[in-house]
Structure 1
Amino acid sequence: MTPFFTATRPSRVVTHGDATFELPILYQRDDFFGLYFTADRKKVEAILPSKNLYPVPLPNGRVVVGVAAYNYINTSIGTYGEVPVAIPVVWGKRPTAFTGVLPALLESSYPGFGVLVHHLPVTKVSARDAGRGEWGYTKFVADMRFTVTPEYYECRMHEHERHILSMRVMKKGLPIRDNRPITTFSVLENKLIRTVIPAKGVKKVALRTKGAFLDLGDHPMARSMEALDLSPTPFMSFYYPERAAILPSGEVVEEGVQPFEGYAGETRDGVHEVSYIA
Structure 2
Amino acid sequence: MPPKRIKKYKNRYALVDGIPYTMPIFAQDSPALMAGFSCDWEKANALLPGNEVHALKLPNGKAVLLITVINYLKTSIGKYIEYSIAIGCTHGSKPAPKFLNAMMMKTYGTGQYILDLPVSSEVSVKGGKGIWGMPKHQANLDFKDEATTVSSQYEKDGQFAFRIEIEKPKNPSLKLKIGTTNYCRYRNMLMASYIYFQSKAGINLFSKAKGRLYIGDHPNVSYLKNLDINPDPFFTMYMPKASGILDDHFDCWFMTYDTPPEKMTEGFESVYELGLNEDWLEAPSVTDYQKYGI
TM-score band, normalised by the shorter chain?
Answer: 0.7 to 0.9
Other structure's SS at 2:222 match:
helix
My pick for the range that moved more, 221-230 or 173-182, is 173-182
Query: 1: CA distance between counterparts of 2:40 and 2:265?
Result: 19
Runs of 5+ unmatched residues, structure 2: 258-263, 285-294
Instruction: Note the 1:205-220 alignment, pairs <5 A.
Output: 205-207=203-205, 208-209=207-208, 211-220=210-219
Q: Which moved more, 1:196-205 or 1:121-130?
A: 196-205
Write the deviation string for residues 117-170 of structure 1: whole angstroms up to 9, x where unpaired: 111000111111211111111111111122111212111221243111121122
Distance 2:111 2:157 in 1: 32
Give the CA RMSD over aligned residues.
2.8
TM-score by length of 2: 0.78
CA distance in 1, matches of 2:202, 2:107: 21
1:46 aligns with 2:43: no
Aligned CA distance change for structure 1 residues 261 and 40 (closer, same or farther; 3 Å): farther
Give, in whole Å, the separation in 2 of the partners of 1:203 and 1:110: 27
Residues 67 and 84, structure 1, Cα contact 8 Å, conserved in 2:
yes
Residue matched to 2:260: none
CA distance in 1, matches of 2:48, 2:225: 16
Q: Distance in 1 between matches of 2:184 and 2:209?
A: 32
1:256 has 2:258 as partner: no
Q: 1:38 to 1:162 in 2, by over 3 A?
A: same
In 2, Cα distance between equivalents of 1:217 and 1:209: 26
1:131 aligns with 2:128: yes
Q: 1:159 aligns with which of 156, 159, 182?
A: 156
Larger radius of gyration: 2
Measure the CA separation in 1 of the matches of 2:199 and 2:103: 19
1:145 and 2:146 equivalent?
A: no
Change (3 A) 1:209 1:159: farther
Change (3 A) 1:188 1:159: closer
Q: Counterpart in 2 of 1:29?
A: 29
When residues 231 and 101 of structure 1 are mapped into structure 2, their CA distance, relative to the original with a 3 A threshold, is farther
Evaluate the alpha carbon distance shift between residue 28 and residue 76 of structure 1 in structure 2; reply closer, same or farther with a 3 A threshold. same
Aligned to 2:196: 198
Q: Match for 1:171 among 162, 168, 172?
A: 168
Matched ranges for 1:38-187 at <5 A: 38-92=38-92, 94-100=95-101, 111-172=108-169, 175-187=173-185
Which residue of structure 1 lines up, in the alignment, with residue 15 of structure 2? 13
Residue segments in structure 1 that go unaligned for 5+ positions in a row: 274-278
SS at structure 1 position matched to 2:147: coil
Gap change, CA 1:256 and 1:52, over 3 Å in 2: closer
Q: Return the offset for 1:222.
A: 2.5
Large movers: runs of 4+ above 6 Å: none
What SS does the aligned partner of 1:34 have?
strand
Matches of 1:216 and 1:226, distance apart in 2: 7
Separation of aligned partners in 2, 1:159 and 1:111: 35
Contact 1:191/1:252 (8 A) holds in 2:
no
Rounded Cα–Cα distance in structure 2 between residues aligned with 1:131 and 1:34: 20
